[in-house]
Chains A and B, each alone.
Chain A
Amino acid sequence: QKEVEQDPGPLSVPEGAIVSLNCTYSNSAFQYFMWYRQYSRKGPELLMYTYSSGNKEDGRFTAQVDKSSKYISLFIRDSQPSDSATYLCAMSALIGELTFGTGTQLKVEL
């Protein structure tokens, strides 16, 4: 079993929908949590960063961390076709190497 599990999708939603992306993990030592967006054949772009538990909001994006359930989420409000990409969750116990999920492919359709 992988340390970080992420549904690979693909997930297809209509424009304007609220998107929910999730990861579960097994390592209780993880305390730094990130979401990256990756367009095809490009490098990952950091979207959200959270330390420990709680919520963080940035524009249309909200990240949630529930350490008791070992579960993190990314919500995208008013989704746009330009949000179509692969979304990667990443986490670490210490300041150092990141452990990634496999990524969820999202398509926002007109």
Chain B
Amino acid sequence: DTGVSQDPRHKITKRGQNVTFRCDPISEHNRLYWYRQTLGQGPEFLTYFQNEAQLEKSRLLSDRFSAERPKGSFSTLEIQRTEQGDSAMYLCASSLVGLAGNEQFFGPGTRLTVL
């Protein structure tokens, strides 16, 4: 399967702990996006990368959230000092700029539960 993959699929943690999620985009895609989705809502944009450059990070929800894409391939999203309000589905998407406009392909998501 050559789609977007995310790991882990589910994460349960206690309030105050740090968590890190990984996203592997479609191999030839140069853009990678992170979104958050809460119950009954559409995905909400957090940040994105083009290759290894993070081009937008002002929409990360707080300074507890950070993302990296060190070699322009996979990306990680870290949440420090988790809070119960961080419980949500975290989605990663990738696209190929310059080929087909703005088609973004999503992974299966990581469901975070903060106790």
Contact = CB atoms under 8 A, between A and B. Distances in A.
Nearest to A103: B42
A46 interface: yes
B85 interface: no
Interface in A71-110: 88, 90, 92, 94-103
In this complex, the member of A98, A100, A101 whose beta carbon has the largest number of chain B beta carbons within 10 angstroms is: A98
A95 to B, nearest CB: 5
Contacts of B100: 49
Contacts, number: 69
B108 A42 contact: yes
B91 A43 contact: yes
A88 B35 CA distance: 14
Given A49-B103, A51-B101, A100 B108 contact: no
A43 B101 contact: no
Chain B interface size band reads: 20 to 34
Contacts of B44: 100
A75 to B, nearest CB: 20
A32 B105 contact: no
B56 A102 contact: no
A42 B111 CA distance: 10
Contacts of A43: 4, 6, 91, 106-109
B42 A100 contact: yes
- The bracket for how many chain A residues form the interface is 20 to 34
Contacts of B55: 96
B106 A36 contact: yes
Contacts of B2: none
A49 B48 contact: no
12 contacts: A32-B102, A41-B111, A43-B4, A43-B106, A43-B107, A44-B91, A44-B106, A46-B104, A46-B105, A90-B42, A95-B102, A103-B40
Nearest 10 Cβ contacts at the A-B interface: A100-B42, A97-B45, A43-B106, A32-B102, A43-B108, A95-B102, A44-B106, A43-B109, A49-B103, A100-B43
